[in-house]
A and B are shown apart, each in its own frame.
Chain A
Amino acid sequence: MNSFLSIISITLMYSAPLIFSALGGVISERSGVINIGIEGMMVTGAFWATFTCCFTNNPWLGFLIGGISGSLLALFHAIASVFLKADQTISGVALNLIGPGLAFFFCGLLFDGKTATNPITNKLPKIFGNNNFISEFMGVLNVDITVVIALILTFVIWFFLYKTKWGLRVRAIGEHPVAADALGINVLKLRALCVIVSGFLAGLGGSSVTLTISSQFNQTSISGQGFIALAALIFGKWTPFGAYFACLFFGFSQALAINFGGYNFISPTLLSCLPYFFTLLALMFVGKSVSPKSNGIPYKKA
């Protein structure tokens, strides 16, 4: 029973940051812009969030700043790949170098040449608060507030995409930008906005790692979660709830690996492969997923 609960709690903990970032990917790619730079935006968000929290002791402000810093980095992706028609993959690769580069550069500058920030003293709260006198059962389920925010955001973005006029337009420009343009929709502006929002969400994803789990930013705070989010987005067939469950699935296999690690019948290092292996296996059965038709193609007006 206990291990069952801990699996749930670890699943939720691991998946929350991924969900934010994968949702960002959904928004960007649904509008037709591939965002390989999510990783860089997560690192950026994680650093600036931690930095803000270190100096203001306000994790919520850090969370916000993390999102904003991610969206600032995304702004460059928007300029390059939307307005200047750059190859979206290449510009994304560039951001994965620039974002973390800047983060570690400033980390060194602002924290006396160290490769890590000071630990934050005030994390984002848990849903039942940080009191210790609740029961063990409740204690396991006392997950980070980001877990709840991630779920709410998933719903919000689903609602946005399928029930509002702006969502209709976002989906339209990712499928057939020429048609949308002919109906008077400003494709470039809307795409740029989507990329910036996706950067904001990826920034939140990065922040939620350091503000809830690790409480410190260092070289390994974000190591590949952005790419996992990218995988989840494709696994989830470019839909908000698809991405949500793909991230949960990944978190779940992570939790399984950690749980099995305690039994010592397989080497724990080898068990660490499990989430990645499971994801591949799952993808083999899910089969081909079809991306938005104009995803990755810069829109040029005649």
Chain B
Amino acid sequence: MLSRISSKFAVQMREIEKSFGFQKILNSFNIDVEKGSIHAVLGENGAGKTTLMNILYGICKADSGKIFLNGKLVNIKNSRIAIKNKIGMVHQHFMLIENFTVLENIILGNEITKKFGILDIKKARYQILEISNKYKLNVDLDAKIENISVGMQQRVEILKSLYRGADILILDEPTAVLTPNETIDLISTAKEFASENKTVVIITHKLNEIKSSSDVCTIIKAGKNIDTLNIRSTSQEELATKMVGRTFALAVEKNRTKAEFGETVLKIKNLNVENKKGILAVKNLSFKIRAGEILGLAGVDGNGQKELVEAIICGIKSKSGSIEICGKQIQNTSVQNVIKNGVSIVHEDRKKLGLILDFTVAENSIFSTYNLKLFSNKGILNMKAIHSFAEKLIENYNIKPQKCSEYLTKNLSGGNQQKIIIAREIASNPKLLIVVQPTRGLDISAALYVEKILMKERNKGKAILLVSFELDEIIKLSDTITVIYNGSIIKAFTQNNFSKNEIGVLMAGGGRTENYSKDA
């Protein structure tokens, strides 16, 4: 199936090998990307797709292997060479400098200057505007990155590549943070780009988007090229089977018996919260969650979810309104008090917020419960109890490596780190469990495991607040779906009583603001 090296192909990679430590990420990987096509690279988390593209873009070096661009062998030692060869990359986590302006971000590293390296802002502005008009990439050049939406940030990233004259554009999980409408815009930009005999490579693990966007799809699994398929003649199920290597049901069993919700656990009324800059990020927001209910908060990142969650756990102060746990006011008390009242949280950014990576697994396993008498009596830690507690969690949740309670947490894989947090938070037997992006960065089997646990806890009668930027995840798990936009809840849907399209439109701000509080 390998084609000959030819200038017909924008990119051809041959026998690429890459290991990190003992782990082999890419195993004699081959790929051909035709000019003028939109080529999807599909694979699970951890399959090696991002590493592959990082090699193409010179961010990391392959241990061995060759890369041909337009039929010519090139040695891409660093990003500078990749840029020179007209490769551009939009990373999954944007590489933007928050307190720089859009313009500064775009020109950085490729500045237009007058004499003595003095910046020529005027000329740069003119050039960028020309490109952004051509591809309808609308941005505000003088705004600071920290003040613009995620969608616009992505457009800045694309502009960065186009400004450097990219002919090959790599998009790493581009739709993860977009609303459905923004996704459509992105795909049309990509198509416009490809129509000029330029090339787009999209890395994704989302099956359904490939159909609408791409021409060709390469499936990568455990660092190997499993197959390259023509999208038009392949079904979604076929793609899924190839990606995972076994057939599995795409939909998770919700095993919903009739919804029987218990008492109200969390009740939020007319909540207002300001963000760091003092702008109202949560506006007059109300909702409630009952025992045995998963409430999914759907919305694009940056619409007040972070502030809402932090206000609930009293990480930041709320301005007005009320937050009650089982009838008890908790708002603007302390994190300690919120935990005492039975609230647990699994943070989105587990490495930064959920774990102390330099602690042992045992020490992390009591991170939210170390105040219990079992673990610390009169201020002295009970090492024995902590250790045996950790070992129990490790066994119950199948955390690897086995018996790792004395390991430093940073030496565990991301999936196992996530398991520690979830195990710990569930073990604290909360009334309300808040989970933010619980499966982000996990491979499919780990993600399934996490989802199963959430279902199990729901069935045990826990109230769960699920915050996720992936609509599919919300739809899959939630009993009730509420849509948050610009700090307000736009609409709430009960069980199965919704359409994905409608939610998508609402997430993008396409709905009237309807006060949901009358329902609460």
What is A's interface to B at a CB cutoff of 8 Å?
Answer: 163-166, 168-169, 171-172, 175-176, 178-185, 293, 301-302
Known: A168-B108, A184-B80. 12 other contacts (CB 8 A): A164-B118, A168-B104, A168-B119, A171-B100, A175-B99, A175-B100, A182-B57, A183-B83, A184-B82, A185-B108, A302-B54, A302-B60
Residues of chain A within 8 A (CB-CB) of B80 are: 184
Residues of chain A within 8 A (CB-CB) of B89 are: 182
Given contacts A172-B100, A302-B60, contact A165 B111 (CB under 8 A): yes
13 A-B residue pairings within 8 Å (CB atoms): A164-B113, A165-B118, A168-B107, A178-B95, A179-B95, A182-B57, A182-B59, A182-B89, A183-B109, A184-B82, A301-B60, A302-B59, A302-B60
Residues of chain B within 8 A (CB-CB) of A180 are: 108-109
Residues of chain B within 8 A (CB-CB) of A185 are: 108-109
Give chain B's interface residue range (CB within 8 Å of chain A).
20 to 34
Residues of chain A within 8 A (CB-CB) of B116 are: 164
Q: Is B7 an interface residue (CB 8 A)?
A: no
Interfacial residues of chain B within 61-88, with CB under 8 A of chain A in the complex? 78-83
By the criterion CB–CB under 8 Å, are A182 and B79 in contact?
yes
Q: Determine the distance from Cα of A180 to Cα of B104 in the docked complex, in whole angstroms.
A: 12
Q: Determine the distance from Cα of A160 to Cα of B60 in the docked complex, in whole angstroms.
A: 31
Q: Determine the distance from Cα of A273 to Cα of B57 in the docked complex, in whole angstroms.
A: 57
User: Could you say which of A163, A171, A176 contacts B95, with CB atoms under 8 Å apart?
Assistant: A176
By the criterion CB–CB under 8 Å, are B117 and A184 in contact?
no
Given contacts A164-B118, A166-B117, A169-B109, contact A182 B95 (CB under 8 A): yes
Q: Is B110 an interface residue (CB 8 A)?
A: yes
What is B's interface to A at a CB cutoff of 8 Å?
Answer: 54, 57, 59-60, 78-83, 89, 91, 95-100, 104, 107-111, 113, 116-119, 160
List the 9 closest pairs (A to B, CB-CB), nearest first: A184-B80, A183-B109, A179-B95, A165-B111, A164-B117, A176-B97, A184-B79, A175-B97, A165-B117
Q: Determine the distance from Cα of A166 to Cα of B80 in the docked complex, in whole angstroms.
A: 16
By the criterion CB–CB under 8 Å, are B119 and A184 in contact?
no
Q: Determine the distance from Cα of A302 to Cα of B79 in the docked complex, in whole angstroms.
A: 13
Q: Determine the distance from Cα of A275 to Cα of B119 in the docked complex, in whole angstroms.
A: 40
Residues of chain A within 8 A (CB-CB) of B83 are: 183-184
By the criterion CB–CB under 8 Å, are B118 and A182 in contact?
no
By the criterion CB–CB under 8 Å, are B118 and A179 in contact?
no
Residues of chain A within 8 A (CB-CB) of B78 are: 181, 184
- Residue ID in chain B nearest A179 by CB atoms: B95
Q: Determine the distance from Cα of A293 to Cα of B81 in the docked complex, in whole angstroms.
A: 27
Q: Determine the distance from Cα of A176 to Cα of B109 in the docked complex, in whole angstroms.
A: 13
User: Could you say which of B79, B110, B117 contacts A181, with CB atoms under 8 Å apart?
Assistant: B79
- Residue ID in chain A nearest B82 by CB atoms: A184
User: Could you say which of A163, A171, A176 contacts B119, with CB atoms under 8 Å apart?
Assistant: A163
- Residue ID in chain A nearest B104 by CB atoms: A168
Residues of chain B within 8 A (CB-CB) of A169 are: 108-109
Q: Determine the distance from Cα of A154 to Cα of B109 in the docked complex, in whole angstroms.
A: 25
Nearest-neighbour CB distance to chain A for B109, whole angstroms, equals 3
Given contacts A172-B100, A175-B100, contact A182 B91 (CB under 8 A): yes
By the criterion CB–CB under 8 Å, are B108 and A172 in contact?
yes
Q: Determine the distance from Cα of A107 to Cα of B18 in the docked complex, in whole angstroms.
A: 54
By the criterion CB–CB under 8 Å, are B98 and A183 in contact?
no
By the criterion CB–CB under 8 Å, are A165 and B113 in contact?
yes
Q: Determine the distance from Cα of A183 to Cα of B81 in the docked complex, in whole angstroms.
A: 10
Q: Determine the distance from Cα of A219 to Cα of B78 in the docked complex, in whole angstroms.
A: 48
Residues of chain A within 8 A (CB-CB) of B82 are: 184
Residues of chain A within 8 A (CB-CB) of B54 are: 302
Residues of chain B within 8 A (CB-CB) of A301 are: 60
Residues of chain B within 8 A (CB-CB) of A302 are: 54, 59-60
